[in-house]
Structure 1
Amino acid sequence: MRFISYTKDNKPGFGVVTADNKVIELAGKVAGADCLATLVGSEELLGRAKDYAATATPSCDYDAITLEPVIPQPSKIICVGINYVAHAAEAGRKVGQYPVIFQRFADTLQAADAPIIRPVVSPEFDFEAELAVVIGKGGGHIAPEDAMKHVAGYTCFNDSSVRDWQFHTHQYGMGKTFRKTGALGPWLVTTDEIADYRELEIKGVLNGEQMQEGKLSELAFDIPHLISYVSQALDWNPGDILATGTPSGIGFKRNPPIFLKPGDVFEVVISQIGTLTNTVADEA
């Protein structure tokens, strides 16, 4: 099923998008679940939500809502750099012994169909198409062989980066934490819909032209390894986001470089999941 977070009539909601693009509201329908993060944190609640949605009458059309980031306020967004070998090569880096980890914050996120914002302090605004993992069951010190039990589902992510700020120092987190630069959505596809995440293919498309392409089987550090590695330092919480890295084709490594500008449309396209579409606007 495709789960979404949204607003309608200025009220927050969460629910399911049906095959014919209707919305089944879940807020107030599943006792104990007050948002999508709490829903996916419990197998029992998630099962009850699926049972309800299987027979419920839709409450409105998909066009009648405004999407929010699929998890509007994740407690943490853990991102992975240099996680495709081809991307490492284009960046002049080598995949090391340990994954490159950095963090984003919830207020950097935008929803599908909302504009991502090019900051006023820099023209070097770049795109990064990624698969994002949404954590269901929380926990710490998770063994790699148990890690997939902690995954609720998958969504699309654009880890747009402000490149010159990224390289102000050797710790490039500042280039990843500008307001309203990252996009997450449009929906969460639960793990029972994806037989093997390694079969997923990802593309980054700018103004209709494919710029990035990769397969999740090409990850240098796979999803179980990443979940386990981070869990040695931090407990995962329901609704947390793990962004798995971007494939080759990013803009600033092209000759000449290609940076996002106002009016551009960037799409993250992932097989079996969907398409995350965002326009680009300048910061006011």
Structure 2
Amino acid sequence: MRLLNFEENGTYKLGVHIGDEESVLDVAAALAVRGNKSESAGIPATVQQVIEGGDAALTALEAFVAAATDASDRDNYMKQQSSLNLGPCVTHPNKIICVGLNYRKHAEETNAELPVYPILFNKFNNTLASHGEEIPLPKVSSKVDYEAELVIVIGKTAKYVPKEEALDYVFGYCNVNDLSARDLQLRTQQWLAGKSCDKFSPLGPYLVTADEVGDPNRLSIKCTVNGEVRQLSNTSDMIFDCAELVSYISECMTLVPGDLILTGTPEGVVLGYPPERQVYLKAGDTVSIEIEKLGTLTNKMVSEE
């Protein structure tokens, strides 16, 4: 399933992407129309309810969507994606955990040693943004960089999970642009300042369930800036794969449904270029992140007011 959020009257509503690129089922509207139908009982109405509800909630939603999609009254709750103001595909993560230097070729391009353990840092909810949203470039930075990354969305409470079972705790996956203000990031040994600027984690457009994605360690990943390919790789180049990350992080802290793990970026970032070729993002640039099976996340950079 492909889930998304869209904003209506100041609140986020749950949508399910159906079939072609444009059709979205408005879950709340469908429940309002079909509320007296037997298949509407216990249907989650928000993305967090779907994630927290586990297999039972997802199964119920799938059955409801299947019935509603084929119903004669579907015109009352089917929408066109292009008409929607999308939100981040996960809206209230308890934790946003990031992994640094997790692609072999990216470590090589930045002349960094391969890590022995995953390098962890964090972001906050202020960094969340959506597909199509304008991203302000901070006044205090002149070196904002793009980073295409696969996101793991946790679906079950996880603590001391063995690697062999780790992917059973994953709800799904999505795209993120882990934007980084390199001049702020590298002022100190702590990366927080350069990673946590407002709207520095555009997320989406879809949250795709794990069953639809299959093996997360075999996905093509691409970043373009103004249509020019800057990053082109595969998640198979990760140093620590998705199962290893979930397992390791669960040893350090308890993971809960809705937590996000940003799994690192491949080679091709501006920081990896020779100094004379480093051209950082500027107002007007359009950045697109595309990961196999997850759709395309696109954002325009603007000057901070």
Is structure 2 residue 279 aligned with structure 1 residue 268? no
Contact 2:129/2:201 (<8 A) preserved: yes
Would you say 1:168 and 2:212 are equivalent positions? no
* 8 Å CA contact 2:156, 2:169 repeated in 1: yes
Contact 2:131 2:299 in 1 (8 A): yes
Mapped contact 2:89–2:130 kept (Cα < 8 A) = yes
Bigger mean CA deviation after superposition, 61-70 or 161-170? 61-70
Letter aligned with residue 296 of structure 2: T
- Where structure 2 has 5 or more consecutive residues not aligned to the other structure, the ranges are 32-39, 69-73
Amino acid at match of 1:227: V
Shift of residue 34, structure 1, vs aligned partner:
4.6
1:40 aligns with: 51
In structure 2, the partner of 1:201 is 220
Deviation at 1:35, TM superposition (A): 2.2
Identity, % of aligned positions: 36
**Higher Cα Rg, which structure:** 2
Paired letter, 1:54:
A
Give 2:197's aligned residue. 178
Whole-angstrom CA distance in 1 between matches of 2:297 and 2:60: 27
1:49 is matched with 61
Whichever structure has more helix as a proportion of its residues is: 2
Structure 1 contact 88–94 (Cα < 8 Å) conserved: yes
Query: In structure 2, how many angstroms separate the alpha carbons of the residues matched to 1:51 and 1:95?
Result: 46
Map of 2:162 onto structure 1: 143
Distance (Å, rounded) in 1 between the aligned partners of 2:127 and 2:214: 31
Which residue is equivalent to 1:95?
A: 114
**Conserved 8 A contact 2:23-2:78:** yes
Instruction: Please point out which of 107, 122, 125 is paired with 1:106.
Output: 125
**Counterpart-to-counterpart distance in 2, 1:55 and 1:7:** 24
1:218 to 233, 237, 243: 237
Deviation at residue 30 of structure 1 after TM alignment:
6.2
Any residues of structure 2 matched to 1:10-49 within 5 Å, and which? 10-20=10-20, 21-27=22-28, 31=42, 33-41=44-52, 42-49=54-61
CA RMSD of aligned residues (A): 1.4
Q: Deviations over 1:169-206 (max 9, x none)?
A: 11112110011122100001111112322221001101
Number of equivalent positions: 284
Q: 140, 144, 147: which one pairs with 1:128?
A: 147
Which amino acid letter does the alignment assign opposite residue 7 of structure 2?
T
State whether structure 2 residue 94 is matched by structure 1 residue 75: yes
Question: Which amino acid is the alignment partner of residue 75 of structure 1?
Answer: N
Q: TM-score, normalised by structure 2?
A: 0.89
Q: Which one-letter code corresponds to 2:5 in the other structure?
A: S
Separation (CA, whole Å) in 1 of partners of 2:128 and 2:12: 16
* Distance in structure 2 (CA, Å) of the matches to 1:30 and 1:279: 41
Superposed displacement of residue 133, structure 1: 1.0
1:279 equivalent in alignment to 2:300: yes
In the TM superposition, what is the alpha-carbon distance from 1:26 to its structure 2 partner?
A: 2.4
> Contact 1:112–1:186 at 8 Å: present in 2 too?
yes
Give the deviation of 1:32 after TM superposition. Answer: 6.6
CA distance in 1, matches of 2:58, 2:142: 43
